[in-house]
Homo-oligomer: A and B are copies of this chain.
Amino acid sequence: MRIDEIGGEFGLIERVKDYHAGSGGNGLVLSIGDDAAVVSLNSYEQAVVTTDMLIERIHFRRDWSDPYSIGWKAAAVNLSDIAAMGATPTFAFLSLALTPKETVENVDRLYDGFMDCLNRYGARLAGGDTNVSPDYMVISVTQMGVIRANRALTRTGARIGDMILVTGNLGDSAAALALLNEYGLGKAEKIDKDLINSHRRPQPRVIAARAAAATGKVHAAMDISDGVVGDVRKMCAASGVGARLESVEVPISNALKNAAGILQRDPVTIALAGGEDYELLLAVAPSDVDDVIAAVGEVGTSVKPIGEIVKTGLRIMAANAIDELNPDALGWDHFGK
């Protein structure tokens, strides 16, 4: 049976889940199923560990993204997982597989981008591996972080009645990708270079997540990497609850509206299906929402409610607040494509 016949990446994750050690006991506080694993360090601190691979042609294209941006993104997507746990990034490990024809100048620029992103968020490069790859570049990063014992934000704590909050704007990265697909690099950059760069060099919400975590009022958190609808579904599954999203509340940028106009697509649908937003998804009790908004706002990041946690199911109200959108049509999976 082929992987695409068992539901692609998510079917595969489900299948291999049981190989993983159970959470709890022997120093493993949290295993597979969240943004990162949590490991005991001592009585007052825990380590958070995540690992993410970026593969040329799947996660990036050399004709659309320069080596500096590829390096930046490899760091950013891993730091985003550390952020989603509310942790402080510490050590990174960078493994590269390069074709024999790769130039050292490209490798230098890739490291520059990787290091600039690490430095911005206080992480350091502690090790890695270099290899040859026959035909395309593969980057694998392991990022560690640290957090006070039992303070890690997880996906499992969302409660019925919680508000669902997101940081920043959604859909910018997806719109950039659509422009690149439709028009190629040159024209896409002419339309909106900043938007294209938001796709190539995402900003992990490390600072905002720590501010949110410090309120002690976040019930559940994860980063939005596979589109907000798909990720809300994951948080609901982990917490054993449902959700109702209000399309009209989804924060979208003017850049997205403009790009959607050019693409003749609905900006809200782009934002909901999204992908690679690297914003935060939070579940917070209604009475605490103002405190979380204030704390995250203090470090310069916007955060707003887009729906609420309900008992079961996933409903997405259309912009008219009457019709419903089909959540199965919104989301993505690399194997399913």
Contacts and interface: CB of A to CB of B under 8 A. Distances in A.
Interface of A: 1-6, 9, 12-13, 15-16, 19-21, 26-28, 31-32, 36-37, 39, 41-42, 47, 49-53, 55, 57-59, 90-91, 93, 95, 97-98, 100-105, 107-108, 111, 114-115, 124-136, 138, 140, 142, 144, 334-335
B12 A127 contact: no
A142 to B, nearest CB: 4
A107 B1 CA distance: 10
Q: How many copies does the complex hold?
A: 2
Of all A-B residue pairs in the complex, the 10 with the closest CB atoms, nearest first, are A140-B140, A21-B124, A37-B127, A42-B42, A142-B142, A37-B126, A132-B334, A51-B93, A53-B95, A19-B111
B55 A127 contact: no
Given A104-B3, A133-B138, A19 B125 contact: yes
B3 A53 contact: no
Given A9-B132, A28-B126, A126-B37, A51 B335 contact: no
28 contacts: A1-B104, A1-B105, A3-B100, A3-B107, A4-B100, A9-B131, A15-B104, A16-B107, A19-B111, A21-B125, A28-B91, A36-B127, A37-B91, A37-B127, A51-B127, A51-B140, A52-B129, A53-B129, A53-B131, A53-B138, A53-B140, A55-B131, A58-B97, A59-B131, A97-B138, A132-B335, A134-B136, A135-B135
A30 to B, nearest CB: 9
Contacts of A3: 98, 100, 102-104, 107
A286 B13 CA distance: 52
Contact of A115 (B19, B51, B107, B334): B19
Nearest to A47: B47
Nearest to A99: B3
A68 to B, nearest CB: 13
A127 B20 contact: yes
A32 to B, nearest CB: 5
- Most chain B CB within 10 A, of A15, A26, A129, is at A129
